[in-house]
Amino acid sequence: MSTKVSPGVENQVYHGGDMKVFSPLDTMRHSAAHIMASAVLEMFPDAKFAYGPPIENGFYYDFELPRSLTPEDFPEIEKRMRRLIESGEPFVREEISRERALEMFADQPYKVETINLLPENETISIYTVGPFTDLCRGPHVENSGRIGPVKLLSLAAAYWRGDENRPQLQRLYATAWPTQGELDEYLWRLEEARKRDHRKIGKDLDLFMVSEQVGGGLVLWLPKGATIRRELENFIVRAEQRAGYKHVYTPHIGKIDLYKTSGHWQHYRDSMYSPIEVEEEEYILRPMNCPHHIVAYKHGLHSYRELPIRLAELGTVYRYEKSGELTGMSRVRGFTINDAHIFCRPDQLREEFVRVVELIQELYHAVGFRDYVYRVSLRDPADTEKYVGGDEMWAVAEDAIRDALDSIGAEYVEAVGEAAFYGPKLDVMVRDVLGREFAASTNQVDLYLPEAFELEYVDADGSRKRPAMIHRAPIGSLERFFAFLTEQHAGAFPVWLSPVQAVVIPIADRHTEYAEEVAANLRGEDIRVEVDARSERMQHKIREAQLQKVPYMLVVGDREREAGAAAVRLRSGEDLKAQPISEVLRMITKDIKERR
RNA sequence: GCCGACGUAGCUCAGUGGUAGAGCAGCUGUUUCGUAAACAGCAGGCCGCGGGUUCGAAUCCCACCGUCGGCUCCA
């Protein structure tokens, strides 16, 4: 791979409040952002500039412009960028005084604000490339000729400093790569990702739907999607049973006082629906399952010997999401969490948390998730308003998570300010096919709700003690998990999850009876099988089974009928030729058993 | 919610001021076929919804609803 980026050292750069390391690729993209800004300035001399950082697969720049850009402007901007790149203009750095900077950028309000936010002793630098000078810490490539092929990707609105009360700017997203080949490959990957989008596959394979009539963000699982969900649920519940969980069922609504006691009403109200009045009492569509499980715990008096008590439920919750945030199955208003609440003695906390992590690992391994990282989400000590409980409680809870991870040698990153209002979290961050990162699983240590609900157990000496609590959801919501799975497999689900595991394809009508016989054999082993007895050519039926990503196609004609066999075709296109029915059964049941 | 783009048949899309189209899917018939699309016919649309401009609107304008890409937030 040839690289146009200056070789060598990674540069330490102060950016947006924390120290970040700029790789050579980031540096090149950051320089490309300046080139883009320069091109935009040529077209709009009155443009106001905000920030233009590199991001994971490219870069963006935020502008305030006299009119809205459209994708039709892209070719013009790209043309001007290419001209600047070809000119090979040097990037010239200059360090200037604060006064001089304020003077230079007097007509650039966002730059002025940025300058004023810089610490007193900070060096202020500017970079000039061709006609364009920008306030910037750098670093940059030596000259614009070192910038690789660029492509503008999309437009978006973004608030100044990410604050919805500040002006809205136009954000121009673009990408740049060292070589044309790498750019082409990235664009190909984007295209490929679009093909795998769970919304597209969900439609093509009739897995689920969202209807305007029912309401945005409210998912209807169609029979095929529901089959997959049922398999997943059974799998999860069995794994939890093995791990010592007891399953409960609780209703989707509850009295408002439950949520006032838990603190949700005070801290989580923005995500909750308005109360429902029933006989002069107010009820809440639950946004979380914990209060119900806590009440279930309080059903009786618990001995220290009984703990931990692990109450699990595939619990459906409802959260208000702004209409613009809804997407397919991954961002919805009603969803089902594979939830559980563990009530344990404080001395059991660490071990219980280790078990939680182990269960996550087991489940992820079984469904083939590899690309995930642990993130410990901590309280922001500077913003105690957002959280309940005192410093000591938080320290204990945060340490319990760290200790648990350390004890099994798991690596993790820490994120300050990402905790839930009642406790720190362990989030498991997974990347989807588009490279976006989501919290697929969140798990919390909670010492607050046991207090709020006055939970107790009876200790060895007969005294009443307060248990600790763990909230855990290894796969988060079934909806989001399903979206991940769909994209990961591009709709070709493993056999154990496939809604239709085998299609029997009779070649001519006279083979239908035998086809039914074959299917009956498979059904006897609980294999989900269908017979395609339509008056269509075999080729047509194969094509449709392929498009539906059915793992096994069993073609039966005269020869197979004579031999008591079926010609096995896999969705990979592989032809296994005629196999005895007993062998077909063996193959499919083996796949199912091994979760392949 | 905010900015931008887009809403035409179940699906994918054409149609830019003058009588709504194609392919696939569906239905009916014919065909009985050896590993990714047989043939013919039929049916299917308040052109997202509501206003407006015009002799005339899928097409132009306004408002609303929805979808998509982002922002913010998040399982």
Q: Stated in angstroms, how far is A262 CA from B49 C1'?
A: 43
pLDDT (mean) for A33-55? 88
- Shared domain check, A451 and A522: no
Report CA A377 to chain centroid distance, whole Å.
Answer: 16
> What pLDDT, in 10s, does the model give residues A415-447?
888 888 888 999 988 776 656 667 888 899 988
d(CA A251, CA A48): 53
Tell me the residue type at A313: E
Token digits of residue A169: 């700017």
Last residue of a domain, one of A132, A160, A188: A188
For residue A260, being part of any structural domain is answered with: no
Q: Stated in angstroms, how far is A487 CA from B35 C1'?
A: 27
A386 touches strand B (CB under 7 A): no
Residue A268: φ, ψ to 5°: -130, 10
Given this model, what pLDDT does residue A434 score? 58
Token digits of residue A436: 């976006």
A241 touches strand B (CB under 7 A): no
In chain A, % of residues over pLDDT 70 = 95
Instruction: Report the interhelical angle of A223-242 vs A349-367 (nearest 10°).
Output: 140
- Shared domain check, A344 and A422: yes
Write down the ipTM of this complex.
Answer: 0.89
Given this model, what pLDDT does residue A239 score? 95
A476 touches strand B (CB under 7 A): yes
For residue A463, being part of any structural domain is answered with: yes
Q: Hey, which residues does A12 pair with through a beta bridge?
A: A21
For residue A493, being part of any structural domain is answered with: no
d(CA A448, CA A455): 10
Q: Which domain holds residue A148?
A: 2-188
d(CA A289, CA A340): 8
Given this model, what pLDDT does residue A216 score? 83
Specify the CATH number for the domain of residue A297. Answer: 3.30.930.10
For residue A257, being part of any structural domain is answered with: no
Residue A191 has pLDDT above 90, yes or no: no
Burial code (b: 16+ CB inside 10 Å, e: under 16) for A452-485 equals bbebbbeeeeeeebebbbbbbbbbbbbbbbbbbb
CB atoms within 10 A of CB A167: 13
Q: Hey, which residues does A457 pair with through a beta bridge?
A: A465
> What pLDDT, in 10s, does the model give residues A4-28?
333 333 333 333 333 355 788 888 9
Contact between residue A48 and residue A60 where contact means Cβ atoms under 8 Å apart: no
Q: Stated in angstroms, how far is A211 CA from B66 C1'?
A: 10
- Shared domain check, A240 and A120: no
- Shared domain check, A515 and A421: no
Given this model, what pLDDT does residue A2 score? 32
d(CA A311, CA A436): 32
Banded model confidence at residue A373, pLDDT cuts 50, 70, 90: confident
Burial class of residue A162 (count of CB atoms within 10 Å of its CB; 0-12, 13-18, 19+)? exposed
Nucleotide nearest to A161 (CA to C1'): B71
Q: Stated in angstroms, how far is A508 CA from B6 C1'?
A: 46
For residue A276, being part of any structural domain is answered with: no
Contact between residue A417 and residue A383 where contact means Cβ atoms under 8 Å apart: yes
Rg (Cα) of chain A, in Å, rounded?
Answer: 29
Cα-based distances in Å from A539 to A412, A434, A532, A536, A558: 51, 34, 12, 8, 16
Q: Under DSSP, is residue A206 helix (H, G, I), strand (E, B) or coil?
A: coil
Q: Stated in angstroms, how far is A62 CA from B12 C1'?
A: 35
Nucleotide nearest to A328 (CA to C1'): B67
A20 touches strand B (CB under 7 A): no
Q: Which of residues 175-204 of A touch strand B (CB under 7 A)?
A: 197, 199, 203
Number of residues written out for chain A:
596
A427 touches strand B (CB under 7 A): yes
Q: Stated in angstroms, how far is A69 CA from B5 C1'?
A: 11
Which of the pair, A522 or A383, is modelled with greater confidence?
A522
Given this model, what pLDDT does residue A432 score? 64
- Shared domain check, A240 and A154: no
Q: Hey, which residues does A317 pair with through a beta bridge?
A: A335
Last residue of a domain, one of A188, A220, A239: A188
Q: Closest residue to B1 by CA to C1' distance?
A: A322
pLDDT (mean) for A220-247? 95
Cα-based distances in Å from A534 to A3, A400, A508, A529: 57, 61, 9, 15
Report CA A67 to chain centroid distance, whole Å.
Answer: 34
Which of the pair, A232 or A3, is modelled with greater confidence?
A232
- Shared domain check, A448 and A313: yes
CB atoms within 10 A of CB A144: 24
Q: Stated in angstroms, how far is A527 CA from B40 C1'?
A: 38
Given this model, what pLDDT does residue A215 score? 82
Q: Stated in angstroms, how far is A321 CA from B69 C1'?
A: 18
Given this model, what pLDDT does residue A286 score? 94
d(CA A423, CA A261): 16
Burial code (b: 16+ CB inside 10 Å, e: under 16) for A309-333 equals bbbbbbbbbbbeeeeeebebbbbbb
For residue A164, being part of any structural domain is answered with: yes
- Shared domain check, A346 and A294: yes
Given this model, what pLDDT does residue A510 score? 93
> What pLDDT, in 10s, does the model give residues A235-262?
999 999 999 999 999 999 999 999 999 9
Q: Which of residues 271-330 of A touch strand B (CB under 7 A)?
A: 271, 319, 321-328, 330
- Shared domain check, A179 and A94: yes
Q: Single out the residue of A384, A387, A360, A380 nearest to residue A372, CA to CA.
A: A360
In chain A, % of residues over pLDDT 90 = 44
For residue A226, being part of any structural domain is answered with: yes
> What pLDDT, in 10s, does the model give residues A467-524?
999 999 999 999 989 988 898 898 999 999 999 999 999 999 999 999 999 999 999 9
Q: Which of residues 136-175 of A touch strand B (CB under 7 A)?
A: 154-159, 162, 164, 168, 170-171
Burial class of residue A345 (count of CB atoms within 10 Å of its CB; 0-12, 13-18, 19+)? middle
d(CA A224, CA A500): 8
A379 touches strand B (CB under 7 A): no
Nucleotide nearest to A573 (CA to C1'): B35
Nucleotide nearest to A377 (CA to C1'): B74
- Shared domain check, A140 and A17: yes
Residue A379 has pLDDT above 80, yes or no: yes
Cα-based distances in Å from A464 to A294, A392, A396: 17, 21, 20
- Shared domain check, A463 and A578: no
Q: Which nucleotides of B are covered by protein (CB under 7 A)?
A: 1-5, 11-12, 30-38, 65-75
Banded model confidence at residue A88, pLDDT cuts 50, 70, 90: confident
Last residue of a domain, one of A149, A165, A188: A188
Query: What's the number of domains chain A is made of?
Result: 3
Q: Stated in angstroms, how far is A75 CA from B19 C1'?
A: 40
Q: What is the mean pLDDT of chain A?
A: 87
Which of the pair, A418 or A567, is modelled with greater confidence?
A567
A543 touches strand B (CB under 7 A): yes
Specify the CATH number for the domain of residue A522. Answer: 3.40.50.800
Q: Is A337 left (phi over 0), alpha (psi -120 to 50) or beta?
A: beta
d(CA A12, CA A575): 56
Q: Stated in angstroms, how far is A418 CA from B24 C1'?
A: 48
Q: Under DSSP, is residue A144 helix (H, G, I), strand (E, B) or coil?
A: helix
> What pLDDT, in 10s, does the model give residues A161-190?
877 777 788 888 889 999 888 888 888 878
Predicted TM-score (pTM) of the model is 0.86
Q: Stated in angstroms, how far is A155 CA from B5 C1'?
A: 9
Specify the CATH number for the domain of residue A125. Answer: 3.30.980.10
For residue A279, being part of any structural domain is answered with: no
Q: Which of residues 551-590 of A touch strand B (CB under 7 A)?
A: 553, 555, 557-560, 567, 569, 573, 575, 577-578
Task: Give every strand in the sheet of A124-129, ordered side by side.
Answer: A91-96, A124-129, A132-135
- Shared domain check, A507 and A370: no
Q: Which of residues 21-80 of A touch strand B (CB under 7 A)?
A: 68, 70-71
- Shared domain check, A509 and A458: no
> What pLDDT, in 10s, does the model give residues A252-290?
999 999 999 998 898 888 888 888 888 999 999 999 999
Q: Closest residue to B30 by CA to C1' distance?
A: A535
